[in-house]
Structure formats: structure tokens, C-alpha cells
Amino acid sequence: MVSRLLMPTHPEMPDTGTPRSVSSGPGGFGERTGTVVAFDTHVGIGVVAAGDAQWPFHCTTIADGSRFVDVGAEVSFTVGPAGPGRWEAFDLRA
């Protein structure tokens, strides 16, 4: 049995009171497309936006292994859990 305390939360997902798996959370919606709106090359942290939502990402999740992406670049990505109550963009592809 999965504890509710360990289940991630996200503003786009209504709390139904029932634990849900990662595949049914925001990352379970499949591949998304969006725009890189911020990226700090020294820290390796960026933000990608799709519609009204934004997710942080780390440079190690850029799929081509370059650890760099231009601000304003159109990318495809998936969203998944990154820690207690946090969601991040993963597998960024230009």
C-alpha cells in the first residue's frame, strides 16, 4: 500500500483523495512541447513552459547530452516526479 504522504501533488491534478500512480499524474499525459523560458548555464538549471504551466529541469536531463539549451528553444519533454511534491521536465529534445 502506498502512503498518501509519499504521493506527489501538482496544481493541475485535483486531489481525489485516492493515491495515484506516477503514470496517471502530470507525467502520464505523454510527451509535451514547450519553450525554454530560462536557463542558467553556470548552475545548469532551467525552466520550460507549455501553456500556462512551467516546470524546472536540470541540464543532465537534456536528451542529446550537451547540457546546454538556448532560451527560446522549442523542445519536447515529459514531466515526472522529482522529489516530494515536486514535478520536473525530463528528456528535453530540441
Kindly report, residue by residue over 21-56, the tens digit of the pLDDT.
Answer: 333 344 445 789 999 999 999 999 999 999 999 999
Average pLDDT taken over every residue of the chain:
78
Whether 25 is covered by a domain: the verdict is: no
Distances (CA, A) of 79 to 1, 42, 54, 90: 24, 23, 10, 6
Identify the CATH number of the domain in which residue 59 sits: 2.40.50.140
d(CA 48, CA 36): 4
pLDDT attached to residue 5: 44
Does residue 92 contact residue 75 with C-beta atoms inside 8 Å? yes
Domain count along the chain: 1
Look at residue 14 and tell me whether its pLDDT is greater than 90: no
Let me know if residue 17 belongs to a domain.
Answer: no
Question: In the structure, what pLDDT confidence band is assigned to residue 82 with cuts at 50, 70 and 90?
Answer: confident
- pLDDT higher than 60, residue 85: yes
Range of the domain at 39: 31-94
User: pTM for the full model?
Assistant: 0.68
